[in-house]
């Protein structure tokens, strides 16, 4: 088993990620503000938790569900952990839960803020922001005269008519919790206006904050709701002939998971949705409520009812909690479609990487790093590294380097740059490729050996002349079409290094000579100019006078003086 990192393609969006075994058992559920970067961190060479190597070894795939906000991801993570009890979520099995707002089933119902709502109560939540939930309960008691968890009447109970009309007031409070908070917010805005007119701005500010808390609490309840008792939400996205349909399943007020179906889309959303639903529900019982992106027609509704042996409420929600749930399904369908499209477009590049791996006898060539140096057009001496993932340039991982030492030749400059690169790596590549020949290969292998990194990853050098690849322990390889990913990486590193060199030369024509002093950046140069009123003042300053400038220590002052003296 184990997971192939190169095949992962997660979106940079908030949500939950799910590690599964080959038998579909959930091994771990986690939340993330950025799914892509969070999951990538699990493949670090130095994991921060002991369980991570075992989790990666035992799992065969990583699923995900995108949410609108990190708060939704927080709630969904907790609910899925409680539902699946994954083996590696030990830190979250302590019984801690998020708060709910509940209205009891008593003859005169009570409103409760609770982490363990009564079974027969109507519930809303869970709410990640406990403070906002508490304030909503307090305001509903006060403005609608709803009882709390004791027998005493709440503040404002007499003013709202005592027992008369109590059921009507409870219905009004339920309406607020269902998302129709206009009545409550209107009352608070009236209080805020009154306070402002009375010049009680402190009171007006407190009421304004209350309005914000009500709005925040009402917007949080997306991933779990009393409406989601037995409900599937269908999301759909298409691009040309390609489409993707996602079904989010919710039961008992909790989103349980999702299923996605890639499909060929012929232009009619209802037809495509009906096609997938007829396949999906041929193997399982339809839910009580089905939320769809467009009407399905009577025949589909009748078939669903037959499969369920009972009525299925098929609807296209326009507002409220159910519309939020279906909108979440749409977002996940769009993400899955983009993910599928990227995978298809990357097939040629991936084939090139696989051909290169077979040519060199390597298990994989999905992570390739290539270095080149540039100094032939001026005094600037620079280097660059490019990264190929699955045969495609990963430009966010490209890096440039200014040579810091006085190394006079290309070999020692490259050794310095590769050494600096190696110190920052948490993930070793499948191959480190050098733009050069045998001597470059020997120099870099010596550098890596001196750092205790010898043997951790293979190193090769690709000479421009005759496209010949050199690797330790093998005969030189004259590359053919199977080595196209190596040639592409070498050419890309050469282009990137020369581009950076040209940029540095352009800057050098206008740069301050003091920038050549090691450790002296733009901010310190500006501080020197301000302190001495210009360059002449700096040139005539003693080392002691230079040390009077903030940020200039003894060693820096001596370096500046030495540089100015030539």
361-381: per-residue pLDDT in tens?
A: 888 899 999 998 876 544 567
Cis peptide before 196 (omega within 30 of 0): no
Spell out the domain ranges in the chain: 5-92, 100-220, 230-344, 351-508, 513-564
Q: Which of 182-196, 275-289, 373-387 is predicted least confidently?
A: 373-387
pLDDT over 50 at 294, yes or no? yes
Provide, rounded to the nearest whole percent, the portion of the chain with pLDDT above 70.
83
What is the chain's mean pLDDT, rounded? 80
Q: pLDDT value at position 93?
A: 36
Take residue 100 and report the two structure tokens written for it.
């709910």
Per CATH, the number for 5-92 is 3.40.1440.10
Find which of 252-261, 414-423, 461-470 is predicted with most confidence, using mean pLDDT: 414-423
Q: pLDDT, tens digit, for every residue of 196-238?
A: 888 887 878 877 877 776 666 555 444 445 555 678 999 999 8
Answer whether residue 269 shows pLDDT above 70. yes
Q: How confident is the model at residue 16 (pLDDT cuts 50, 70, 90)?
A: very high
10 Å CB burial of residue 270 (0-12, 13-18, 19+) is middle
What's the confidence (pLDDT) of residue 102?
87
More confident residue, 342 or 509: 342
168-174: list long-range contacts, CB under 8 Å, 24+ apart: 169/144, 169/145, 170/103, 170/109, 170/144, 170/146, 172/144, 173/103, 173/111, 173/140, 173/144, 173/146, 174/103, 174/122
Helix ranges (DSSP H) in 399-465? 410-423, 438-450
Q: Assess if CATH 3.30.420.340 describes domain 351-508.
A: yes
Express each pLDDT in 171-181 by its tens digit. 778 877 776 66
Query: pLDDT tens across 125-165, in order?
Result: 666 567 777 888 888 887 777 887 655 554 444 444 455 57
What mean pLDDT comes out for the span 46-65?
84
CATH 1.10.10.10 fits 513-564, yes or no: no
Q: What is the pLDDT of residue 158?
A: 43
pLDDT of 411 above 80:
yes
**What's the pLDDT score for residue 388?**
93
Note if the pTM is more than 0.85.
no
Indicate if the pLDDT at residue 292 is higher than 90. yes
Instruction: Look at the domain 230-344 and name its fold.
Output: Nucleotidyltransferase; domain 5 (3.30.420)
Q: Of 181-190, 478-487, 498-507, where does mean pLDDT reach its minimum? A: 498-507
Establish whether domains 5-92 and 230-344 are of one fold: no
Q: Closest Cα to residue 517, out of 533, 497, 538, 488?
A: 538
Looking at residue 121, its pLDDT comes to 83
Mean pLDDT of the region 283-289: 83
Nearest to 272 by CA among 246, 303, 298, 302: 246
| Mean pLDDT in residue range 313-335 | 88
> Could you tell me which residue, 222 or 456, shows the higher pLDDT?
456
């Amino acid at each position: 088993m184990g997971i192939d990192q190169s095949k992962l393609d997660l979106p940079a969006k908030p949500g939950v990620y799910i590690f599964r075994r080959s038998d579909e058992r959930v091994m771990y559920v986690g939340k993330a503000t950025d799914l892509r970067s969070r999951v990538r961190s699990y493949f670090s060479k130095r994991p921060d938790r002991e369980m991570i190597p075992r989790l990666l070894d035992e799992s065969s795939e990583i699923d995900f569900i995108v949410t609108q906000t990190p708060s939704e991801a927080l709630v969904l993570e907790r609910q899925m952990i409680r539902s699946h009890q994954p083996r590696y979520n030990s830190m979250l099995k302590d019984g801690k839960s998020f708060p709910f707002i509940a209205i009891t089933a008593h003859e005169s119902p009570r409103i409760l803020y609770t982490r363990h709502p009564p079974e027969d109560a109507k519930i809303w939540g869970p709410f990640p922001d406990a403070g906002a939930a508490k304030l909503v309960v307090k305001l509903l008691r006060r403005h609608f005269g709803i009882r709390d968890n004791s027998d005493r009447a709440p503040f404002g109970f007499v003013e709202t008519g005592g027992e008369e009309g109590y059921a009507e007031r409870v219905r009004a409070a339920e309406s607020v919790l269902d998302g129709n908070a206009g009545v409550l917010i209107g009352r608070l805005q009236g209080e805020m206006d009154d306070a402002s007119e009375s010049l009680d701005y402190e009171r007006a500010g407190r009421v304004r904050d209350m309005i914000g808390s009500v709005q925040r609490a009402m917007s949080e309840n997306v991933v779990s709701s009393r409406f989601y008792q037995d409900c599937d939400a269908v999301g759909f996205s298409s691009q040309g002939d390609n489409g993707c349909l996602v079904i989010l399943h919710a039961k008992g007020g909790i989103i349980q998971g999702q299923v996605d179906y890639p499909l060929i889309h012929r232009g009619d959303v209802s037809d495509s949705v009906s096609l997938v639903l007829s396949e999906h529900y041929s193997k399982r019982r339809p839910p009580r409520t089905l939320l769809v992106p467009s009407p399905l027609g009577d025949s589909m509704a009748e078939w669903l009812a037959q499969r369920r042996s009972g009525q299925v409420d098929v609807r296209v929600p326009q507002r409220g909690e159910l519309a939020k749930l279906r909108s979440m399904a749409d977002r996940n369908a769009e993400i899955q479609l983009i993910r599928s499209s990227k995978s298809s477009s990357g097939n040629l590049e991936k084939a090139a990487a696989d051909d290169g791996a077979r040519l060199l006898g390597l298990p994989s060539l999905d992570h390739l790093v290539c270095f080149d140096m540039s100094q032939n057009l001026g005094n600037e001496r620079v280097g660059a590294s490019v990264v190929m993932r699955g045969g495609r340039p990963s430009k966010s991982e490209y890096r440039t380097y200014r040579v810091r030492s006085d190394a006079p030749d290309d070999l020692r400059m490259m050794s310095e740059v590769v050494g600096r690169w190696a110190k920052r790596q948490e993930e070793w590549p499948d191959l480190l490729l050098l733009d050069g020949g045998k001597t470059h290969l020997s120099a870099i292998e010596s550098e890596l050996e001196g750092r205790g990194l010898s043997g951790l990853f293979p190193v090769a050098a690709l000479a421009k002349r005759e496209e010949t690849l050199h690797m330790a322990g093998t005969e030189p390889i004259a590359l053919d079409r199977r080595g196209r990913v190596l040639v592409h990486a070498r050419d890309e590193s050469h282009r990137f290094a020369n581009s950076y060199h040209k940029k540095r030369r352009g800057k050098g024509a206008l740069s301050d000579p003091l920038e050549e002093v090691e450790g002296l950046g733009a901010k310190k140069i500006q501080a020197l100019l301000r302190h001495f009123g210009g360059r002449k003042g700096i040139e005539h300053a003693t080392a002691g006078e230079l040390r009077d400038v903030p940020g200039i220590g003894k060693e820096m002052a001596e370096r500046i003086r030495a540089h100015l003296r030539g």
